[in-house]
A and B are shown apart, each in its own frame.
Chain A
């Protein structure tokens, strides 16, 4: 379980997160959604400890994050970002196994785990020796996911993992990711600005605007009982391709 209590964060005196309270329950998939710059990525970066809150406390599995337990807590979390953040100097296999090798988990474990993860993420085993520049964006995200899952963490944090992919690949990966989340049963937090994706993944959706949580609940809650006109606006801002077809038909 992840818990944020009264967490605030500013960058250059601009407040990006206002005293936020948030609880994320184990083995659920939570989607954090909101417009660009609303503070949703900041939330994730606070949880993984890349940045420190100005005020408030963050707990992961009941442990208050501080300098002493930062590394051990990070080992219990997997983190995937938009363009994968793969290490360009390492091939896919080395990217995935870097932390495990560093922690000396043993070659057998690493081999076994890589094999499992290839199956899970549908990454071709024979492409493991390729370098990030040699594989496609979608494959890179699969490698990034493998890297995040290497030590079988309890928590998986994904920051717009599919944001940079073309629609077909995104669609395919969305399906695969959902399957993976269901198969693993981990605590998953995904940040996205795509409401469709939010509904597709999320047990729970948290809508953020200007550093404040506007509403949280299931996607159905947000659609049926919007707390605010912004919620409705945000949900409806999604363009439906059929719209244009209907309009053009009508005009005829």
Chain B
């Protein structure tokens, strides 16, 4: 089976575009009927934490039926268009919720189908080549028809084509006399560095090589941003580009002409649910004014403003609307402290809910493991296996089950929290000296009384240690929650990594580290409450 890379047009598959903006609010999924999910989520743990998560989400977010929910992919261009859509819709007084940088193509597409978002920017090429590749669509008209059949409407093109292209450093290309892709045939020794996605796509390297009969063998798959740096250092000569990349100007690149018309068009369009028309006709009318009004030049400029010059995306979007449509929008400029507060609340929400759920489940599981050796082995093996799933994979795995947002993140964090607590509960109980255990038994205490009065207090330090480990791990892992729209300290970190913006990375990394230390300290302190004094004393 071919591996599907979910993030079609993103430059870094898992980056996160979030700068200071009023739209950066907790991305919390609406609570949904639990019964429907019980069948999907066979796992008892999942159900449990789902219930808890859903209750919390419900408590935190109100739900508005007429709200337009805008989504965008996790790369600069998509985020900016999302901002533009959001702001233009708001001018009609519509209530708009912008869930920015939710992830890759698959996530956005399935969120749209599920109605978790109403509208998001997409590219015709992505729809034809990837999302609906099985339908072998040959024209935009046909594409429209197919989408309509799915209850989805595709707008007219926004005005720019962000297709794939090959690029080289201007001076290198000049020296070698390379202008077109077919010119590359003459230089088999050139080093190519392509995104992993490009290496695997239908219109990517394999078919490009075939079409142009390219002889090169030195072809590496690497991250897009690293490819630019490799180009700078001269370790590779040719990379794949998107034609609206801000870097083309910045790095002085020559875009090679696709003389055989190999690459399909990637016209930017808006995809929206057909019911958006009834839901908010005025808002939609405004949004559709964007059709045909964003040129390639506009887009390159906006990408550069955000990506290279660090302007907040919402501000760049607002400026564009001002110039193009004479619309004055005022995106809230939030301060460092309001961002920190928002991130902290989101982060704590993820950590606390998942940890509380894990404690509620893990301690009984640990006790059960201790009471029944056979079941214990199975339980410990299961939670051990869960622990070995890479966190990123687990997060992505949660999306089809529970959608985007904090519920998925909480469930994933919850699953990661199980092992330390279950194991420490188990070993804490197991390590109670036999004579103490038997003394309690010989005294005539019932099994439950022994557990409550002797065994759990004796194991308290170990159990607390397990909870502490889970909490600290959770604080770290929760930063990945930003990848699936759950917010938290991961947002500035991921955005900072992509924009190469160290202060932004630190804006997430430092609070996360401080929180981890704080958690550790709090748990050390809580020993005084939860661990009986007799166990804390040194013998005299």
A-side residues, CB < 8 A to B, are 45, 48-50, 70-75, 77, 79, 81-83, 85-91, 98-99, 102, 131-134, 147
Would you call B62 an interface residue if the criterion is a C-beta within 8 Å of the partner chain's C-beta atoms?
A: no
B535 partner residues in chain A, CB cutoff 8 A: 88-89
Given contacts A88-B436, A98-B453, contact A133 B442 (CB under 8 A): no
Shortest CB distance A172–B (Å): 21
Q: Which of B441, B442, B453 has the most CB of A within 10 A?
A: B442
Of the A-B pairs whose beta carbons lie under 8 Å apart in the complex, a sample of 30, sorted by A's number, is: A45-B438, A49-B442, A50-B441, A50-B442, A73-B444, A74-B444, A75-B444, A79-B442, A83-B435, A85-B439, A86-B439, A87-B439, A87-B454, A88-B458, A88-B534, A89-B458, A89-B460, A89-B532, A89-B533, A89-B534, A89-B535, A90-B534, A98-B453, A99-B444, A102-B449, A102-B453, A131-B534, A131-B537, A133-B537, A134-B539
B387-408 vs A, CB cutoff 8 Å, 1 = contact: the mask equals 0000000000000000000000
A102 partner residues in chain B, CB cutoff 8 A: 445, 449, 453
Given contacts A50-B438, A88-B436, contact A134 B443 (CB under 8 A): no
Would you call B372 an interface residue if the criterion is a C-beta within 8 Å of the partner chain's C-beta atoms?
A: no
**8 Å CB contact of B443 from A79, A83, A91, A132:** A79
Q: How far is the CA of A70 from the CA of B538 in the complex (A)?
A: 36
Q: Which residue of A lies closest to B461 (CB)?
A: A89
Contact B438 A132 (CB under 8 A): no
Would you call B446 an interface residue if the criterion is a C-beta within 8 Å of the partner chain's C-beta atoms?
A: yes
Question: Which residues of chain B from 420 to 473 have a CB within 8 Å of any chain A CB?
Answer: 435-436, 438-446, 449, 453-454, 457-458, 460
Would you call B373 an interface residue if the criterion is a C-beta within 8 Å of the partner chain's C-beta atoms?
A: no
Beyond the given pairs A85-B439, A89-B454, A89-B458, 10 more chain A to chain B contacts, judged by CB atoms under 8 angstroms and listed by A's residue number, are A48-B442, A74-B444, A79-B439, A81-B439, A85-B438, A86-B436, A88-B436, A89-B533, A102-B453, A147-B443
A73 partner residues in chain B, CB cutoff 8 A: 444
B441 partner residues in chain A, CB cutoff 8 A: 50
Contact B458 A81 (CB under 8 A): no
Contact A90 B436 (CB under 8 A): no
Q: Which residue of B lies closest to A81 (CB)?
A: B435
Contact B537 A98 (CB under 8 A): no
Would you call B540 an interface residue if the criterion is a C-beta within 8 Å of the partner chain's C-beta atoms?
A: yes
Contact B539 A99 (CB under 8 A): no
B-side residues, CB < 8 A to A, are 435-436, 438-446, 449, 453-454, 457-458, 460, 532-535, 537-540
Q: Which residue of B lies closest to A72 (CB)?
A: B444
Given contacts A75-B444, A98-B443, A99-B443, contact A85 B435 (CB under 8 A): yes
Shortest CB distance A68–B (Å): 13
Shortest CB distance B231–A (Å): 65
**8 Å CB contact of B442 from A74, A91, A98:** A74
Shortest CB distance A124–B (Å): 15
Shortest CB distance B429–A (Å): 13
Q: How far is the CA of A86 from the CA of B435 in the complex (A)?
A: 8
Q: Which residue of A lies closest to B538 (CB)?
A: A133
Q: Which residue of B lies closest to A71 (CB)?
A: B444
Shortest CB distance A89–B (Å): 4
Q: Which residue of B lies closest to A83 (CB)?
A: B435
Shortest CB distance B540–A (Å): 5
Shortest CB distance A58–B (Å): 15
Q: How far is the CA of A77 from the CA of B539 in the complex (A)?
A: 30
Shortest CB distance A140–B (Å): 11
Shortest CB distance B459–A (Å): 10
State the 9 A-B residue pairs at the shortest beta-carbon distance, nearest first: A74-B444, A85-B439, A89-B532, A131-B534, A133-B539, A79-B442, A85-B435, A89-B534, A75-B444
A132 partner residues in chain B, CB cutoff 8 A: 534
Q: Which residue of B lies closest to A88 (CB)?
A: B534
Contact A133 B540 (CB under 8 A): yes
Q: How far is the CA of A79 from the CA of B436 in the complex (A)?
A: 12
B538 partner residues in chain A, CB cutoff 8 A: 133
Shortest CB distance A50–B (Å): 6
Q: Which residue of A lies closest to B535 (CB)?
A: A89
Q: Which residue of A lies closest to B446 (CB)?
A: A71
Q: How far is the CA of A71 from the CA of B450 in the complex (A)?
A: 12
**8 Å CB contact of B533 from A71, A85, A131:** A131
Q: How far is the CA of A73 from the CA of B443 in the complex (A)?
A: 10
B443 partner residues in chain A, CB cutoff 8 A: 74, 79, 98-99, 147
Q: How far is the CA of A73 from the CA of B457 in the complex (A)?
A: 26
B457 partner residues in chain A, CB cutoff 8 A: 89
Q: How far is the CA of A82 from the CA of B533 in the complex (A)?
A: 24
Contact A99 B445 (CB under 8 A): yes
Contact A90 B532 (CB under 8 A): yes
Given contacts A71-B444, A79-B443, contact A134 B537 (CB under 8 A): yes
Q: How far is the CA of A119 from the CA of B47 in the complex (A)?
A: 58
A86 partner residues in chain B, CB cutoff 8 A: 436, 439
Q: How far is the CA of A75 from the CA of B441 in the complex (A)?
A: 11
A70 partner residues in chain B, CB cutoff 8 A: 444
A74 partner residues in chain B, CB cutoff 8 A: 442-444
Shortest CB distance B447–A (Å): 10
Q: Which residue of A lies closest to B533 (CB)?
A: A131
Q: How far is the CA of A209 from the CA of B460 in the complex (A)?
A: 42
Q: Which of A49, A73, A89 has the most CB of B within 10 A?
A: A89
B540 partner residues in chain A, CB cutoff 8 A: 133-134
Shortest CB distance A11–B (Å): 14
Q: How far is the CA of A132 from the CA of B454 in the complex (A)?
A: 14
B435 partner residues in chain A, CB cutoff 8 A: 81-83, 85
B533 partner residues in chain A, CB cutoff 8 A: 89, 91, 131
Q: How far is the CA of A134 from the CA of B534 in the complex (A)?
A: 9
Q: Which residue of B lies closest to A99 (CB)?
A: B443
Contact A133 B444 (CB under 8 A): no
A75 partner residues in chain B, CB cutoff 8 A: 444
Shortest CB distance B438–A (Å): 6
Q: How far is the CA of A77 from the CA of B443 in the complex (A)?
A: 8
Q: How far is the CA of A87 from the CA of B449 in the complex (A)?
A: 14
